[in-house]
Structure 1
Amino acid sequence: MRDLPTSPRKRSATTPLHRPVRLSPADLLRLGLIGIHTRRMRAALSALGISIGIATMIVVTGIPASSQKALDAELTALGTDRLQAVADSQASNGRPVAFPAESVAMVRRIGPVKAVTAVANTHAVVRRTDRQGPLDASGLTVLAAQSNLLDLVNARVRSGRYLSEATGTIPTAVLGTVAAARLGFPDPRPGESPPLVLINERWFSVIGILRTVPLAPEIDRAVLIGWESAHTALGFDRRPTQLFIQAQEAAIEDVHAVLPATIDPLSPSQVLVSRPSDALAAKRSTEATFSGLFIGLAGVALLVGGIGVANTMVISVLERRREIGLRRALGANRGQIRSQFLTESIVLSGLGGLAGIIFGVLGTIGYAAYEDWPPAIPLPAVSAGLCGAVLVGIVAGVYPAVRASRLSPTAALASA
């Protein structure tokens, strides 16, 4: 007797007839774009709301950053990382006390110090011609200067050239702006013989004239000659009377504290060191003020944009009940409905965030160009704007997505 074929197992009443199809990320993206594509004007207005918020965040961070960058350049020109040390007391012969000859080398050994240079008052008399007597001096100071002075005092040459290692050993001179005006020297011209100036009883060739030096106004009224030429021609003893120091800005107070004992260990009280300028305190204050302003305005901008997206998504759910009911009737589960509307909210916020970043960057660059500032686009603000837009899209889309997924097919189709 042949075995009868076994009958198929009866399907349990709880077993679904069809397993729901798992949606790929590409499918979710296409579903999320349906609402944006079919309601373009509303989507554009909603994206415009969040783009304005992100653009505001970029602008309120970019414009102050550009302004601060310009301010930093101005403050740096004032020497926020510079110190000056001057010999203070007077010797018995009426000449200022000079620092030890090795003081420059000792200061250079301080760790945070980047560079150091020196000038020295030679107490020489400068005259325009030899027909003037000693009492007809112009009242200018003759300073022996080293070749790296311009970098330390942020000075620039107006015409000609500055002292170099080569020219600093021969009788050559560079004039400050006031010194050039008092002596009646025009700007040196290429190809012409350099004018001469009489220092004590030696003639020096004028090879350059400096621009105004805000950081060291005394240089404007000085005649600068080379360190070695001052020694050979004027008997200069190579002892500086003033030092200019550049140090790491974060350690400027520490350097200030150790300078007197480093420059003159035997008489530190005779060393006067300029304190960090008030510009440094102003710079640090503006940094703290700008940081607080960034956080507050960015938070308000994102909050306004998130409310706009949430409002749009709630209205979208109310208007698309028929679509939701039809998809549920065709087998879409609640998770797929939630994913669809959550994806739409994220895409909408992401598009608004990208548009806001573009508008914000262009606005910042345009305003900086108008104010003649160097444009500064904070990359953390740009990345935070995009990430914030996506996060706002997630938060704003959670409630509408959950509400849409809770609609039953019959209720959704009946209310449509």
Structure 2
Amino acid sequence: MTGQLNRELRPVRLAVPDLLTLGLTGLRARPLRAVLSALGIAIGIATMIVVTGIPASSQAALLGELTALGTNRLQAVAAPDRDPPAKLPESAVGMVRRIGPVTAVSAVANTHTVVRRNDRVEARNGSGLTVLASHLDLLSTIGARVRAGRWLNPVTATFPTVVLGSVAASRLGITDLPTGQPAPQVMISDRRFTVIGILAQTPLSPDIDRSVLVGWEAARSELRFDGHPTVIYLRCEESQLEAIRSVLAETISPERPGQVVVSRPSDALAAKRATEGSFSLLFLALAGVALLVGGIGVANTMVVSVLERRAEIGLRRALGATRGHIRSQFLTESVVLASLGGLVGTALGLLTTVGYASWQGWPLVVPAASVLVGVGGAVVIGVLAGVYPCVRAARLTPTQALAAA
């Protein structure tokens, strides 16, 4: 009989909707105080997202600019001053293309011919320009672009056509290719070649600026080119740059790797890696301080709420509410208050980051961890800030609470 009575008197657990209703009751009763307390949490969360999102966006923009400086590029040439002269194998480009981390590879070759504006210019006056046989994928590999006209294609690369580098065009007096007018021609080894394109300046490959580019097959048929590349350009995964550089010479010329000279990585790569490793700990510390202040504000609000609502606590205890019910009520109120501040702060931080990145023209980068930590951190702060007030409220007996009210 006693056991059955104890089971009947066992306190009922509060359902989640009931807990939320109780938790929101105190917030609705004092909205201004709740808003001010949540604002402290919101400022802290927004600060954390802003000080991680804006530097991350700025860093992404800077890394993009550094990548454009050729941080993932290498080039290989035949060693100079060799007797007999060193030559890269004809199969070198295909061999390099088989290296896994290589994303693009192309080549040019010196045809050892002279280019002239016309047949009236002295045969030996090449204006300091070089005639290069070129693969069709050269532009995408070195990051060059056409300023006027068009680049070589599988058809034009087999005919006597050329594309001029920016400096070569200036020296030959061909600065534009007007539409609807006959294309200009130049003389190469007493053969006329039609100019079909002019390249824009290529800062990372100044040798291309001073060159006249001919299709690989046209160079073979028209200029007696032997097919051996002079310079091999490649792009690869940055993380594998040093590894590729260490095996590139052996890959190009397995029998005579000493006859291959590989360029060293760009100085911009070191700057990029240093940028990737830097982060503003000061800003994160400031965000942490803001969160701490917000948490203290929530704790203060909850302590005052307990003092002001002692009559409510005493009445609920007298009507059968257990200490666990009281603890759950005030802990829920603290968590809800902090969570609202966290959601508002996350939205505010994201909007600020998006707006500033768009204004600066940066790519938008918001670390997912910042958003997760923002919302999750608000919940943790709510729990920590509500522990003492909820325990204090639960310790009040009905008589103490009603007597102090």
Same fold (TM over 0.5): yes
Q: How many angstroms apart in 2 are the aligned matches of 1:326 and 1:248?
A: 70
Q: Which amino acid aligns with 1:241?
A: T
Question: By how many angstroms is 1:296 displaced?
Answer: 4.5
Q: How many angstroms apart in 2 are the aligned matches of 1:282 and 1:131?
A: 50
Residues 371-410 of structure 1: pairs in structure 2 closer than 5 A: 371-410=360-399
Q: Which amino acid aligns with 2:113?
A: A
Out of 356, 360, 368, the residue aligned to residue 345 of structure 2 is 356
SS in 1 for 2:219: helix
Question: By how many angstroms is 1:242 displaced?
Answer: 0.7
Q: Tell me the percent identity.
A: 61
> Contact 1:168–1:226 at 8 Å: present in 2 too?
yes
Residue 267 in 1 paired to residue 253 in 2?
no
Question: By how many angstroms is 1:394 displaced?
Answer: 1.3
> Contact 1:100–1:263 at 8 Å: present in 2 too?
yes
Q: CA, structure 1 residues 231+296, in 2 after alignment: closer, same or farther (shift >3 Å)?
A: farther
Out of 38, 41, 59, the residue aligned to residue 29 of structure 2 is 38
Question: By how many angstroms is 1:114 displaced?
Answer: 2.3
Q: Which amino acid aligns with 1:376?
A: V
Out of 30, 50, 55, the residue aligned to residue 59 of structure 1 is 50
Out of 70, 73, 83, the residue aligned to residue 79 of structure 1 is 70
Aligned-residue RMSD, C-alpha: 2.2
> Contact 1:138–1:182 at 8 Å: present in 2 too?
yes
Q: Give the structure-1-normalised TM-score.
A: 0.91
Residue of structure 1 in register with 2:158 after alignment: 169
Q: Can you list the C-alpha shifts for 1:201-231, whole angstroms capped at 9, x where unaligned?
A: 1222222222222322221221111111111
Q: How many angstroms apart in 2 are the aligned matches of 1:40 and 1:354?
A: 17
Question: By how many angstroms is 1:301 displaced?
Answer: 4.2
> Contact 1:100–1:264 at 8 Å: present in 2 too?
yes
Q: Can you list the C-alpha shifts for 1:81-125, whole angstroms capped at 9, x where unaligned?
A: 2211122313458xx633111111121222222221111112221
Residue 191 in 1 paired to residue 183 in 2?
no
Question: By how many angstroms is 1:337 displaced?
Answer: 0.9
SS in 1 for 2:136: coil
Residues 74-113 of structure 1: pairs in structure 2 closer than 5 A: 74-92=65-83, 97-113=86-102
Residue 339 in 1 paired to residue 315 in 2?
no
Q: CA, structure 1 residues 106+44, in 2 after alignment: closer, same or farther (shift >3 Å)?
A: same
Residue 150 in 1 paired to residue 139 in 2?
yes
Q: How many angstroms apart in 2 are the aligned matches of 1:235 and 1:38?
A: 93
Q: How many angstroms apart in 2 are the aligned matches of 1:109 and 1:29?
A: 63
> Contact 1:77–1:215 at 8 Å: present in 2 too?
no
Q: Which amino acid aligns with 1:214?
A: P
Q: How many angstroms apart in 2 are the aligned matches of 1:292 and 1:119?
A: 48
Q: Which amino acid aligns with 1:51?
A: A
Residue of structure 2 in register with 1:282 after alignment: 271
Q: CA, structure 1 residues 199+291, in 2 after alignment: closer, same or farther (shift >3 Å)?
A: farther
Q: Can you list the C-alpha shifts for 1:10-63, whole angstroms capped at 9, x where unaligned?
A: x79x95995534211011111111122111111111111111111111111111
Q: Can you list the C-alpha shifts for 1:297-356, whole angstroms capped at 9, x where unaligned?
A: 554443333223222222222222222222222211111111111111111111111111
Q: How many angstroms apart in 2 are the aligned matches of 1:239 and 1:35?
A: 83
> Contact 1:60–1:297 at 8 Å: present in 2 too?
no
Residue of structure 2 in register with 1:303 after alignment: 292
Give the count of matched residue pairs: 404
Q: CA, structure 1 residues 24+72, in 2 after alignment: closer, same or farther (shift >3 Å)?
A: same
Residue 218 in 1 paired to residue 213 in 2?
no
Q: Can you list the C-alpha shifts for 1:227-275, whole angstroms capped at 9, x where unaligned?
A: 1111111111111111111222221111100111221233322322122
SS in 2 for 1:61: helix
Out of 29, 32, 38, the residue aligned to residue 20 of structure 2 is 29
Q: CA, structure 1 residues 180+312, in 2 after alignment: closer, same or farther (shift >3 Å)?
A: farther
Q: Which amino acid aligns with 2:34?
A: A
Residue of structure 2 in register with 1:3 after alignment: none
Q: Give the structure-2-normalised TM-score.
A: 0.93
Q: Which moved more, 1:299-308 or 1:141-150?
A: 299-308
Residue of structure 1 in register with 2:309 after alignment: 320
Out of 160, 178, 181, the residue aligned to residue 167 of structure 2 is 178
Gaps of 5+ in 1: 1-8
SS in 1 for 2:279: helix
